Amino acid sequence: MATLATHFKTALSNIEPSDDAENAQAAHAEVTKVLEADDLLVKLGVDPILIGSYGRQVSIRRVKDVDVFVRLSKAGKDLRPGRILDHVAAVLEESFPGRVTRQHRSVMIDFPDDDLSVDVVIARPCGDHWEIPQKIEDDGNARWVETNPTKMAELTTQANKDYLLYDGDPGSGVYVPMVKLIRQIRRTWVDDQPGGYFFEVLAYHAFSNLEPNETSYAKYLTVVLREIADLLIDVADEGLDDPTLDGKTIKTKATPEQLAAAAARIDEAATLAEAALGANDCLAAVKWRELLGTTKNTTTEEQVFPLPEYCNADGTKKKTTAVTQGASTVPAGSGRYA
């Protein structure tokens, strides 16, 4: 059984946001500063917080959008979604002229130099969670709908504490790394829809259903990916339960045909992971490489999963050079036990 722990750590490093993270932080800070300086928003109790994959620290390279959840803690039931969105768009346009787009449920600010955008989502209190604007399809107007994105961040943090790579080591949380790998697999194997958040929720349910207690990244990924493949078949008909709101399901842009196609592709991916787990080191590495695909680094693409230095690209082992008695040098080691 090939677990290739060192190489999985490198793969995770290869999909980690690089300069994207700094650019996202700077863009978020700029937008937040403008919002917190507006008199009306201050009266409404403006309190921005990062949400989305970047806010939950499960984003992968590249980060192209940042979601800012603007909680208006003092807003009442008389706050109209269309009017407050118009106001926020006007406030942001003053500071970011020509770069602001008023959308149906948010306001987007473009940061073209960084190939990045910030989505500002306005929220008002609704019991112990929030409501955000959403367009009504029949008349084009907006209304308030329930949501609870901060809950997903809490669930993610707790899951990363609950599932550990090494028992007793709180720093070895494996849930967040698995979500990142699942997002990378979705990006590699699924054409378009469902999106990354849908797969993140699938991963959450997979962990909740299985309660896995594995000893390597390879084993965790294999069992979780198979559970996700099975779940996709069910949710195509029944919908995907929203773990942040009781009785609700996750909305997706995916059509039934796209859900079926994604289920078939992830089933293939899970089968490939199972084959990789049972193969020898070199053949396993080739299969993990196929599973995780490539990622962009600035303008170039690179393979996510590295081949061990003792392996050929076809999954065979390189020929070793015998050590001659009295030789001044010896062949390099495999590094498998690092």
d(CA 320, CA 165) in angstroms, rounded, equals: 33
Dig out the tokens for 126 from the structure.
């609704």
Residue 334 is predicted with a pLDDT of 47
State the DSSP string of 117-144: EEEEEEEEEETTEEEEEEE-TTT--EEE
CATH architecture of 19-147: 2-Layer Sandwich (3.30)
d(CA 177, CA 75) in angstroms, rounded, equals: 37
CATH number listed for the domain at residues 151-283: 1.10.1410
d(CA 287, CA 59) in angstroms, rounded, equals: 24
| HSE-CB of 198 using CA atoms within 13 angstroms | 25
Residue 315 is predicted with a pLDDT of 95
d(CA 139, CA 221) in angstroms, rounded, equals: 45
**All structural domains of the chain with their residue ranges:** 19-147, 151-283
Residue 331 is predicted with a pLDDT of 53
What is the residue-level pLDDT of the chain in tens, covering all 338 positions? 778 999 999 999 999 987 777 888 899 999 999 999 999 999 999 999 988 888 888 989 877 889 999 999 999 999 999 999 999 999 999 999 999 999 988 999 999 998 899 999 999 999 889 999 987 655 567 789 999 988 999 999 999 999 999 988 999 999 999 999 999 999 999 998 999 999 999 999 999 999 999 999 999 999 999 999 999 998 888 899 999 999 999 989 899 999 999 999 999 999 999 999 999 999 999 999 999 999 987 677 899 999 999 999 999 999 875 555 555 555 555 444 33
Using alpha carbons only, give the angle 255, 183, 175 rounded to the nearest 5 degrees.
125
Number of Cβ within a 10 Å radius of residue 187: 18
pLDDT tens for 29-74 read 999 999 999 999 999 999 999 888 888 889 898 778 899 999 999 9
d(CA 101, CA 104) in angstroms, rounded, equals: 10
pTM here?
0.87
Dig out the tokens for 111 from the structure.
């940061």
Residue 336 is predicted with a pLDDT of 45
Using alpha carbons only, give the angle 111, 302, 115 rounded to the nearest 5 degrees.
5
| HSE-CB of 10 using CA atoms within 13 angstroms | 15
d(CA 295, CA 187) in angstroms, rounded, equals: 9
State the DSSP string of 239-263: --B-TTSTT-B------HHHHHHHH
